[in-house]
């Protein structure tokens, strides 16, 4: 039997503010246990939480970037649950007045995945269970989070992955979070049910908690859809449960039943006043947004004329896109700049993280100085690549490697006589080219490059060589 | 839950009718959430006591036009964006102060094993 996947994703993102959501303690990752704590974030009686302005600003930024309506009036609620990761026995969150509502993310197919809401809340502390005891570190308690809830519009594992990928990229671009899934600054919960195609009713859903990589999202959706399909095919019913995805076995197993304790008894937090953000402020925040990633991608292709493949490699890392645009601003050409980044600079970066960080030893101005030599055909692209590699390794500017006297171009006459010389020196290779073994021309290229220290224009040389060989 | 049944009670009280603000089933549910267990006799007693407490709290609703919802929505009690706390770090408390009222271990809080 075929089923249709109905899937929604809840994403928690840690905001990159300096301080916690309700107190001035640092949000810095790590630190000795319980050293980033105060009476507020350890829930001491009589302490008073005060909302961090930056948290509201960042959440609104996220909302605007995801096409949401911003609620100018909002308040915080208490979500009650008894578990020692939150010392107050409740989490301060938002229930019926979230900051942002009704947005969307557009997939490559043009399909829009609705964003139901974005609300702000506090993160919980970290528990370590060991030999019958639980040790608690509240450094993370009170670190600001936004929770982004999607509509159940996702209907395949690929769409689930694309949604999370795009969300991550947009959040990184607007600078509100580093969204590192492996470090927990972005965490996804997947809600999934199956139904027969065309059936307007939803099936019983399960929730897969805390998925910590993009590819696991795709795998978890596939594994859970298969598990539910097997149950339904056998005539059974799916139990509403919280599940865990195990990457080792690529399987989904129950964590605990959705029981009564999920009655969170939300009510407005009486310690925190309702707050308003006027339209003028919202507009100010809107204007502070950078160009969003998919607008940038379109511009790179349609205005700058980059190929889709190249544009996609550059736009997906914010720092790379900035470096690329700074280099262009120095007067370097689009094509050579893009190619040198993608071919030479990226060859030094093996992981996504390295490209994301893009810690390189030369400035955009230094890079532009090199690119412009290639633009003006003073050096060929091969020399540009090898010189760039030396610059990256040493952090030294182009003048260290290419002296002005090296830049005297090779005249057409000189090149023609060099080509003749190359043919005379390699009669066998020349004969091979004449007989259709085209690759043999590389022997002559090698000769010319060696004689000129790599400065000859290889395309011109090729035309000349072919002409001379045919004579 | 409290607000809705409370409002109902307040309306009933105004009409001179007295209905229970909270049921025994609700008390049972609350006890379960709080991980407490009671005998049937205790449950009966607590239901009656809870009911009286809620009825008392509901006098607030009678004294304010629009009830407790109204209190929350008064614009004068709202803060604007500019009044929110600036994002500036202030020193946290030293670890020994944080742990001064509890049994700690190597800087951690230590409690009996608790697993969801």
Contact B100, A37 (CB under 8 A): no
Whether B84 sits inside 8 A of A275 (CB atoms) is yes
Each domain of chain A, given as residue ranges in start order, spans 4-284, 291-407, 412-470
Separation of alpha carbons A268 and B69, rounded Å? 10
What is the structure's pLDDT at A110? 94
pLDDT at A439: 85
Mean pLDDT of B16-35: 77
Rg, Å, chain B Cα set: 22
pLDDT confidence of residue A325: 93
Confidence of residue A218 (pLDDT cuts 50, 70, 90): very high
* A415-442: burial string, b at 16+ Cβ within 10 Å, e else: bbebbeebbeebeebbebbeeeeeebbe
More confident position, A90 or A445: A90
Average pLDDT over residues A189-198: 93
Task: Out of A75, A80, A135, name the one closest to residue B109 (CB).
Answer: A135
Query: Taking CA atoms, what residue in B is nearest to A268?
Result: B72
Burial of A249 (0-12, 13-18, 19+ CB in 10 A): exposed
Q: Is the pLDDT of residue A379 over 90?
A: no
- Topology annotation, domain A412-470: Arc Repressor Mutant, subunit A (1.10.10)
What pLDDT does A115 receive?
97
Confidence of residue B8 (pLDDT cuts 50, 70, 90): very low
Interface touch B92/A51, C-beta < 8 Å: no
Least confident of A127-136, A163-172, A248-257, B59-68: B59-68
> DSSP character for A354?
H
Higher pLDDT, A465 or B69: A465
Which of A148, A116, A95 minimizes the C-alpha distance to A266?
A95
Candidates A135, A12, A123; CA nearest to A84 is A135
State the Cα–Cα distance between residues A141 and A157, nearest whole angstrom.
Answer: 33
Chain B nearest C-alpha distance from A135 (Å): 5
Decide if A366 contacts A391 (C-beta within 8 A): yes
**pLDDT tens column, A258-304:** 444 467 889 999 899 899 999 999 999 999 999 999 999 999 999 99
Strand runs (DSSP E) across B8-103, as ranges? 79-80
Q: Which of A195, A194, A178, A176 is nearest to A186 (CA)?
A: A178
Most confident of A147-161, A345-359, A391-405: A147-161
pLDDT at A191: 95
* pLDDT at site A277: 94
pLDDT at site A398: 86
- ∠ CA A410-A415-A421, nearest 5°, is 135
DSSP one-letter code for A96? S
Q: What is the mean pLDDT of residues A122-140?
A: 92
pLDDT at A405: 59
Closest CB to B113 among A134, A137, A276: A134
Is residue A16 classed exposed, middle or buried when 0-12, 13-18 and 19+ CB atoms within 10 A define those classes?
middle
What local confidence, expressed as pLDDT, does residue B64 receive?
Answer: 66
**pLDDT score at A377:** 79
pLDDT reported for residue A21: 97
For the packed helices B40-57 and B2-14, what is the interaxial angle rounded to 10 degrees? 70
Confidence of residue B113 (pLDDT cuts 50, 70, 90): confident
Residue appearing with tokens 């795709």: A218
| Residues 19 through 78 of chain B touching chain A, CB cutoff 8 Å | 29, 32-35, 72-73, 75, 77-78
Confidence of residue B68 (pLDDT cuts 50, 70, 90): low
pLDDT band at A1 (very low <50, low <70, confident <90, very high): low
pLDDT digits (tens, 9 = 90+) for A96-121: 999 999 999 999 999 999 999 999 99
CB pair distance less than 8 Å for A51 and B86: no
- Which pTM value belongs to this model? 0.77
Domain ranges of chain B: 2-80
pLDDT for B37-55, tens place per residue? 889 999 999 898 988 888 8
H/E run at residue A153: none
Contacts of A382-389 with C-beta under 8 Å, sequence gap 24+, read A382/A449, A382/A454, A382/A458, A383/A454, A383/A455, A384/A336, A384/A340, A385/A340, A385/A343, A385/A344, A386/A454, A388/A340, A388/A344, A388/A345, A389/A344, A389/A348
Q: Which residue has the higher pLDDT, A174 or B69?
A: A174
Within its chain, how far is the Cα of B93 from the centroid? Answer: 28
Q: Best-predicted range by mean pLDDT among A84-88, A117-121, A379-383, B61-65?
A: A117-121
The helix (run of H) or strand (run of E) holding residue A136 is strand A133-137
Backbone angles phi, psi at A116, to 5 degrees: -70, -50
Measured between beta carbons, which residues in chain A are less than 8 angstroms from residue B27? none
Q: State the Cα–Cα distance between residues A166 and B27, nearest whole angstrom.
A: 46
Q: Provide Rg for chain A, Cα atoms.
A: 29
């Amino acid at each position: 039997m075929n089923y249709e996947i109905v899937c929604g994703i809840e994403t928690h993102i840690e905001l990159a503010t300096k301080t916690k959501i309700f107190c001035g303690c640092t949000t810095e990752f790590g630190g000795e246990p319980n050293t980033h704590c105060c009476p507020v974030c350890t829930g001491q009686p009589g302490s008073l939480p005060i909302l961090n302005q930056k948290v509201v600003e960042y959440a609104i930024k996220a909302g605007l970037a995801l096409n949401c309506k911003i609620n100018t009036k909002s308040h915080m609620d208490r979500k009650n649950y008894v578990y020692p990761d939150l010392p107050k026995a409740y989490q301060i969150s938002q229930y019926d007045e979230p900051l942002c509502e009704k947005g969307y993310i557009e997939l490559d197919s043009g399909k829009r995945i609705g964003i139901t809401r974005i609300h702000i809340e506090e993160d919980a502390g970290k528990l370590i269970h060991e030999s019958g005891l639980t040790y608690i570190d509240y450094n993370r308690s009170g670190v600001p989070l936004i929770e982004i809830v999607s509509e159940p519009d996702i209907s395949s594992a690929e769409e689930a992955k694309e949604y999370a990928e795009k969300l991550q990229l947009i959040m990184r671009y607007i600078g509100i979070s580093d969204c590192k899934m492996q470090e927990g600054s972005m965490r996804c919960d997947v809600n999934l049910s199956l139904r027969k195609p065309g059936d307007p009713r939803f099936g019983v859903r399960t929730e897969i908690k805390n998925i910590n990589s993009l590819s696991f999202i795709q795998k978890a959706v596939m594994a859970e859809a298969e598990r539910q399909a097997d149950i339904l095919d056998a005539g059974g019913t799916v139990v509403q449960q919280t599940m865990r995805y195990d990457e080792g076995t690529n399987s989904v197993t129950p964590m605990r039943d959705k029981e009564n304790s999920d009655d969170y008894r939300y009510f407005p937090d009486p310690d925190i006043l309702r707050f308003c953000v006027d339209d003028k402020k919202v507009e100010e925040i809107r204007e502070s947004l950078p160009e969003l990633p998919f607008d940038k991608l379109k511009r790179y292709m349609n205005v700058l004329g980059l190929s889709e493949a190249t544009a996609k490699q550059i736009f997906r890392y914010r720092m790379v896109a900035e470096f690329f645009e700074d280099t262009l601003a120095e007067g370097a050409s689009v094509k050579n700049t893009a190619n040198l980044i993608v071919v030479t600079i990226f060859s030094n970066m093996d992981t996504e993280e390295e490209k994301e960080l893009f810690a390189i030893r030369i400035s955009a101005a230094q890079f532009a100085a090199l690119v412009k030599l290639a633009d003006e055909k003073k050096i060929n692209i091969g020399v540009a690549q090898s010189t760039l590699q030396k610059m990256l390794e040493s952090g030294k500017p182009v003048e260290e490697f290419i002296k002005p006297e090296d830049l005297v171009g090779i005249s057409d006459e000189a090149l023609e006589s060099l080509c003749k010389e190359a043919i005379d020196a390699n009669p066998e290779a020349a004969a091979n080219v004449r007989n259709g073994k085209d690759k043999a021309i590389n022997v002559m290229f090698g000769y010319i490059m060696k004689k000129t220290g790599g400065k000859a224009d290889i395309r011109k040389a090729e035309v000349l060589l072919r002409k001379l060989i045919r004579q | 839950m409290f607000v809705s049944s409370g409002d109902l009670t307040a309306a009933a009280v105004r009409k001179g009718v007295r209905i229970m603000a909270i049921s025994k089933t609700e008390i049972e549910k609350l006890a379960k959430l709080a991980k407490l267990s009671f005998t049937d006799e205790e449950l009966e007693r607590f239901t009656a006591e809870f009911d009286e407490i809620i009825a008392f709290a509901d006098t607030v609703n009678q004294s304010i036009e629009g009830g407790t919802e109204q209190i929350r929505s008064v614009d004068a009690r709202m803060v604007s964006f500019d009044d929110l706390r600036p994002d500036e770090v202030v020193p946290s408390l030293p670890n020994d102060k944080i742990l001064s009222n509890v049994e700690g271990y190597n800087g951690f809080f230590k409690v009996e094993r608790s697993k969801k």
